[in-house]
Amino acid sequence: MVVRSVRLMWGALGTAALALAAGSTFVISAASADPKPRAAAPAATTPHWARVSAGGTLFAGEGITSVVRFGNGRYNLDTNFNAQDCALTGTVNNANFTDPGPGTSSILVGLVSSNRIFVRTATPSSGSVDDDRPFSVVIACH
């Protein structure tokens, strides 16, 4: 038995195995093969971000409505979107091309509520650990 054309679909492998198991010949004709339909593109992520000074000034950003510094190295960022199911990331960086100073720095970014993000900056080598540091955050939502 010769199969002259088979559409290239997920079922083609099963058909080939069945034909070969029965001792038959299996032929695929590229001329009759339909192209595999493309999967729908994933929904685009919406990037929200902020660049903030050590004192809590919002230099630039998208989706961030305000920044409140409420203690050494502690900031709340209010958003105009629901950040509940978003990926949060942050980094300590310079502010307006000024060196933030020596030392090792770390950052913690977390969700306080659906539209408030907490950022903590620190310099572990300083006496108080919590330290005002300029930072940037990126919030990617799907």
pLDDT digits (tens, 9 = 90+) for 86-96: 888 888 887 66
pLDDT digits (tens, 9 = 90+) for 84-133: 888 888 888 876 666 666 555 567 788 889 899 999 888 877 777 888 88
Which of 80, 75, 81, 84 lies closest to 108 in space, CA to CA? Answer: 75
Report whether 12 contacts 33 (CB < 8 A).
Answer: no
Please count the CA atoms within 13 angstroms of the CA of 35 that sit on its side-chain side: 3
The span from the CA of 39 to the CA of 128, in Å, is 53
- Residue 126, Cβ density class (10 Å: 0-12 exposed, 13-18 middle, ≥19 buried): middle
Domain residue ranges in the chain: 2-32, 46-141
The span from the CA of 123 to the CA of 92, in Å, is 10
